[in-house]
């Protein structure tokens, strides 16, 4: 976990569905984004997080 309590997305083993849920509803210190992003945008963000493991 990072200094802010955030998980390292390069090491995350969450599935796409789990990532969508976390982005949508939030978790622990992370805010929910369901009121800011459309379902399509949330899925795009979740898919993007998989690319972080390659860095």
- Mind listing the pLDDT tens digit for each residue in 3-55? 566 667 678 889 999 999 999 999 888 899 999 999 999 999 999 999 987 66
Residue 47 lies in a domain: yes
Asked if the structure places residue 48 within a domain, the reply is yes
Whole-number pLDDT of residue 29:
84
Residue 23 in contact with residue 46, Cβ under 8 Å? yes
Report if residue 33 sits inside a domain: yes
The model's pTM is 0.81
Residue 1 has pLDDT above 60, yes or no: no
Domain count, the chain: 1
pLDDT of residue 2: 55
Is residue 46, in this structure, part of any structural domain at all? yes
The CATH number covering residue 48 comes to 1.10.760.10
Which residue range forms the structural domain that includes residue 37? 16-54
Report the pLDDT value the prediction gives residue 18, as an integer from 0 to 100: 93
Q: How far apart are CA 18 and CA 28, in angstroms?
A: 14
| Per-residue pLDDT, 52 | 86
């Amino acid at each position: 976990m990072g200094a802010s309590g955030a998980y390292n997305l390069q090491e995350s083993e969450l599935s796409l569905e789990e990532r969508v849920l976390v982005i949508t509803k939030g978790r622990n210190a992370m805010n929910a984004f369901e009121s800011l992003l459309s379902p399509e945008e949330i899925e795009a963000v979740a898919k993007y997080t998989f690319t972080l493991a390659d860095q």
